[in-house]
Structure 1
Amino acid sequence: MGLFALAAGFWAMGLFFMYCIYETHKARHIFSEQSIRYQGAIRSKELPLEAVRGYRTDNQYTHIVPVSKAYPGIRIGYTSEGYEDIQQWLADRFPDLDVQQQEQEAQEILQDDALGRTEAEREEKLLQAQRLCRVLNIAAWAVAAWLFFYPQPYSLATQAALALPPVALLAMFWHRGLIRADERKDSAYPSLASALFMPSLALLLRVLFDFELLEHTLVWPLAAAVAAVFGGLLAYGSWRFISNSASRWSALAMLLFCALAYGYAAPAAYNCAFDKAIPQVHQAAVHGKHSSSGKTTTYYLAVGPWGPRTTPEDVTVTKELYEQTQAGDTVHAYLFPGRLGIPWFSVEE
């Protein structure tokens, strides 16, 4: 029964995928002075021009937005024939709702007495926040690339990645209510999404690539505590946007991603990268090796029991060690106590 359900699920997914391809191939958008019509292989919908409120654009689609839910919305993929001409046709007739939203928010900022006594003072604060966000976001991309592609010196690159998200958080408190954690194309509020997330992501990838924790259960309580504190402070700094129903879910999603990534990566990276203790050295017999490929290739040695590990297991190693090691060889497992008391190890020749 389970195999039948699995097979049925795969068939359903395959049929749906084929339908999507066929629908995309047959779909047409017809523009007239009366309406915009979508004509697909099976379904169609029509939106009168007088019912069009405007349009929004993202990386994949132009969304034609109706004045109410009584009318259907229509989206046009960027691969559609004559896409640039369609965008120009829309721009000549309807407002760009992203630009309109930005202008409305910019006026809200300039009229917010909490940000300054005069409009000139409030405009200057907005410019300061924009410049600060630009600097921190550029720094975040630079640090993430440094840590991920060439982390030398390792401790300095790790320190920079550990420091940037808290610095971004402090910037949010300094300009509280003026800087958002998430990034929205239609918003006039400057964003620190890159400064909060990119260093955390780079740290997380380095931890996964470079270190093997002896027991992951030991890191979870600390990771949960860091995630709760960081996420709570981020929620406090983002409360203006969380309390707004229009931006609540994107703000909460970014808060969750940043809190979880930094919550795990920060204590794990600090525990391993700054552990200066002399390790215990154990010998482990190599039983075999294999690799897994995707966007990156990960190399594994199958090793026998060693030290506190009483069963055979796969351990990640460098490409160099993988290539020069064969089944029957012996490698050394270096067991470290961890700067935060979370034991970890590395396998070398």
Structure 2
Amino acid sequence: MTEGTVRDELYPAAGDRRVYRVAKWLRVAAVIATLALAGGANVMLFQPLWQGLNVPVSPLLMSVDVLFTLLMLYFLWWSFTAKVTLCADTIEESTPFGSRRLRKSEIKGCMRLPKGGGVLIAPKNGVPLTISKDSYNPDRYFDAWIDKLPDLKQVQQQEEEVRARNDPSLGVTPAQRLATYARRKSHFGKVYLGLLFASMAVFYVGVLASAAFAPAVFIAAAIPWCCLVAAYLYKDQWSHSAGGNNATAIIVPTMMPVLMLFIMASSRADLVDASQVMAHGALAGLPWLLAIVVLMGNIAVPLRQKLLSLLFLAALAWVYGGSLLALGNRMFDQSPPQVFRTHVVGWHVTHGKGGTHYYLELAGWGPEPGGTHLRVGYATYHAAHRGDPVCMGLHPGRLGFQWVHSMDCPPEGTP
């Protein structure tokens, strides 16, 4: 029996219908992960309240907790409802919020993902369909169906050559145009990898090296704009990068710097009222988002893909703008603080995934008439006694958002 005959016997015949559901081990993992991660995050966030402590919950952290919990609940829902249906001439993936069905005639090509991660099926128009092999555990019939699809890399290479040959801006002759296109593709790859490396480096330097805090903030603030400039200069390459997902060339190298800025803003901005910065964060990130809208408006991609990409980028721009406001408000504030004297009325310890944190409970002062909680080190925590004086410095903020920090108390009688 020849290889072709074997393939024909494995290939689903007309009328055959095979359904692949999420693997059982992944369903169990989804249940455990949702309970452990989402449940644990909520326990850590609200633990002080359950202990009867008057600890204010940050609106920013609460928003992140809600989004993370919803994401984990969706993962759980997906694991019990998602499926892939394979027929002789169609493939369909069903998820909690809808389904995606492709006919063979609508498919441009298919590409195997690295290390057996699954397959990427690119339609002639629209967003690629990615099917994880580990999630659905497809069998030999699925593999035989996929093997009969055109090779996506070969199809894309042929399309690139046709575009380059017909682009007069790349040269006079077809040979010149192909050579110019190859150089631009090489340069774009180097720029993209450079932005990826810079984004990862600034994240780890900013989080781990406190001495390089200010330079890391400036570099992290610049990288998202560098991504836009690179996308504009290499528009022809960017519009066909990342397997057809055009926004990926901007999103991937932008994620780490924005995450670093968010972490720094949450831990070092010391805002009296973080909700004000959150409200203004959308305006601060609007110029970056508008630049993306203009850039993507000139790219020939499906409207649905543009809307999904812009929805995610809008949330990213909000976090980016809010984090810059919070950090810039403190970094550029050179005004002397207004000093408030208070004293220790108690203390408590919280235990979480990030480690053990020690807090002194302070009596009411200035803008915090109900008292506040000051995070301190291990030695300061164990050396504290009720009634010990503590001084808090209140700064107006360079951008008008008040922020506070503890400081050495001036001598008695000093105004």
Say whether the fold is shared (TM-score over 0.5): yes
Q: Per the alignment, do residues 325 and 237 of structure 1 end up closer, same or farther by CA in structure 2, a change over 3 Å counting?
A: farther
Indicate the residue corresponding to 1:347 in structure 2: 406
2: CA distance between counterparts of 1:322 and 1:184?
Answer: 51
Alignment TM-score, normalising by the size of structure 1? 0.70
Matched-pair contact (CA < 8 Å) for 1:103–1:188? no
Question: Is 1:281–2:339 an aligned residue pair?
Answer: yes
Question: Is 1:173–2:232 an aligned residue pair?
Answer: yes
2: CA distance between counterparts of 1:202 and 1:140?
Answer: 9
1: CA distance between counterparts of 2:310 and 2:154?
Answer: 24
Q: Per the alignment, do residues 300 and 77 of structure 1 end up closer, same or farther by CA in structure 2, a change over 3 Å counting?
A: farther
Q: Aligned-pair distance for 1:155?
A: 1.5
Indicate the residue corresponding to 2:318 in structure 1: 260
Q: Aligned-pair distance for 1:109?
A: 5.3
Secondary structure in 1 aligned to 2:333? coil
Alignment TM-score, normalising by the size of structure 2? 0.60
**Number of positions where the alignment pairs a residue of Structure 1 with one of Structure 2:** 311
Candidates 213, 236, 257, aligned match of 1:199? 257
Identity value in percent? 19
Matched-pair contact (CA < 8 Å) for 1:305–1:312? yes
Indicate the residue corresponding to 1:17 in structure 2: none
Secondary structure in 2 aligned to 1:290? strand
Candidates 281, 291, 294, aligned match of 2:353? 294
Question: Is 1:272–2:330 an aligned residue pair?
Answer: yes
Q: Aligned-pair distance for 1:201?
A: 1.2
Indicate the residue corresponding to 1:131 in structure 2: 190
Question: Is 1:146–2:205 an aligned residue pair?
Answer: yes
Q: Per the alignment, do residues 223 and 313 of structure 1 end up closer, same or farther by CA in structure 2, a change over 3 Å counting?
A: same
Question: Is 1:113–2:158 an aligned residue pair?
Answer: no
Candidates 39, 42, 47, aligned match of 2:86? 47
Matched-pair contact (CA < 8 Å) for 1:130–1:190? no
Q: Per the alignment, do residues 162 and 74 of structure 1 end up closer, same or farther by CA in structure 2, a change over 3 Å counting?
A: closer
Matched-pair contact (CA < 8 Å) for 1:227–1:263? yes
The residue correspondences of 1:179-328 to structure 2 (distance < 5 A) are 179=238, 184-186=242-244, 191-220=249-278, 222-241=280-299, 244-245=302-303, 247-286=305-344, 287-294=346-353, 300-315=359-374, 317-320=375-378, 323-324=381-382, 326=384, 328=386
Q: Aligned-pair distance for 1:113?
A: 3.1
1: CA distance between counterparts of 2:335 and 2:228?
Answer: 32
Matched-pair contact (CA < 8 Å) for 1:51–1:66? no
Q: Aligned-pair distance for 1:339?
A: 2.5
1: CA distance between counterparts of 2:191 and 2:281?
Answer: 29
Q: Per the alignment, do residues 139 and 105 of structure 1 end up closer, same or farther by CA in structure 2, a change over 3 Å counting?
A: farther
Q: Per the alignment, do residues 191 and 334 of structure 1 end up closer, same or farther by CA in structure 2, a change over 3 Å counting?
A: same
Secondary structure in 2 aligned to 1:47? strand
Q: Aligned-pair distance for 1:313?
A: 3.1
Q: Per the alignment, do residues 244 and 111 of structure 1 end up closer, same or farther by CA in structure 2, a change over 3 Å counting?
A: farther
Candidates 125, 134, 141, aligned match of 1:78? 134
Matched-pair contact (CA < 8 Å) for 1:301–1:314? yes
Q: Aligned-pair distance for 1:211?
A: 2.3
1: CA distance between counterparts of 2:166 and 2:379?
Answer: 61
Write out per-residue CA displacement over residues 37-66 of structure 1, whole angstroms, 9 at most, x where no aligned residue: 336699998634454646566799736969
The one-letter code matched in structure 1 to 2:393 is Y
The one-letter code matched in structure 1 to 2:18 is R
Provide structure 2 residue ranges, at least 5 long, that are not aligned to the other structure: 1-8, 25-79, 92-103, 124-128, 172-176, 409-415
Q: Aligned-pair distance for 1:246?
A: 5.9
Q: Per the alignment, do residues 101 and 213 of structure 1 end up closer, same or farther by CA in structure 2, a change over 3 Å counting?
A: farther
1: CA distance between counterparts of 2:359 and 2:132?
Answer: 45
Indicate the residue corresponding to 1:20 in structure 2: none
Candidates 1, 5, 19, aligned match of 1:38? 19
Q: Which has the larger helix fraction?
A: 2
Provide structure 1 residue ranges, at least 5 long, that are not aligned to the other structure: 1-30, 68-72
The one-letter code matched in structure 1 to 2:167 is D
